[in-house]
Structure 1
Amino acid sequence: MLSDWEASSAARVLPPARPRKLAKVPFVELADGRLQGVVSSGSDVSRVYVSSVAAGDFAFACSTNNNRPCGGARGSFCNHIRALIGEAVLQYGGGRVARYLRADTGSLGEPEAGAVISAMTVTRPPQGDTKAAAPVFSRFLRHLAYLELVASTEPLPEMQWFPPTRAAV
């Protein structure tokens, strides 16, 4: 027997663990074996950084939206990556983020962002590959485009996953 949400055409959306502000980190996701997202620049309103941390080895990467490397990500997590981890903990909960990244926080309760960061920086994480930046930024821009749509009950062609069935003749 399927539950109501499994039988519907809409995907179940999990509410955030805690409310978060989107100004600093407008996009965060646990996908492709990484914690990844878009972080706003603190100094230039037209610049954003695409940051990521790989699960397991904690390889990290941070670069601007036009692929210039972050000056702070040299040998350790920059402030953009720390902000990304902090917002991920708010969005998904510290336990889920730590499990996804395979970071041993040693905590029995729900770990805070600082505990997750500390668990990953015990060893010096390697500099990661910036090839993930383009698809992450592309997904972020696609999400922004949905925010600009006028509210409507009409179907969106790109959201229709199944081909239309032919009417019986």
Structure 2
Amino acid sequence: MSDGSKTTATDADGFSTLGYYYAFDADTEIDDMNLEAVICADQPSKGLGGVAVSVRVNDEIKASAGQRRVMETLSMLINQQLPHRDDAVVVARYAISICEEPPEGAVVLCRFSARREDQGDRIVTQLKAGRNKAVDERVLAGGRRVIHYLTDFLDRLEVAARRDE
């Protein structure tokens, strides 16, 4: 994905924009009614190294195994698309949003696209992700570094749901 990170048109392969994985600063107010998941990486204090990470997902994902599988798939696509670097830059907030346009102030890391095909007896949906090549590799790597917190959280939700059955 080049710097056309806000392109919503259907591409030559028939894929249409499904949503975005983006980063934003803690001081930036993001107006996004379509948030699916937010990953917050906060420095607990100046004296401690590293970050404290929290994850929030919307109620639909908490309640639906199907929605959790979709989010796990998007997380896997993010992990595949973004680079690994030892000098990754982790910013304060990351979000996954199912929307046609990313919100103002967001730095798009990945764009998700989907294509649906009618194959007679069934409809097949294909998903893909493309990274924003206009963003510094270290920032992209920071997005990859924190995505596993989301997948771990989704795994815990799945275990809790099975226990409640």
Q: Same fold (TM over 0.5)?
A: no
Normalising by the smaller structure, the TM-score range is under 0.3
Which structure has more relative contact order (CA 8 Å, sep 6+)? It is 2
Structure number, greater radius of gyration: 1
TM-score by length of 2: 0.28
TM-score by length of 1: 0.27
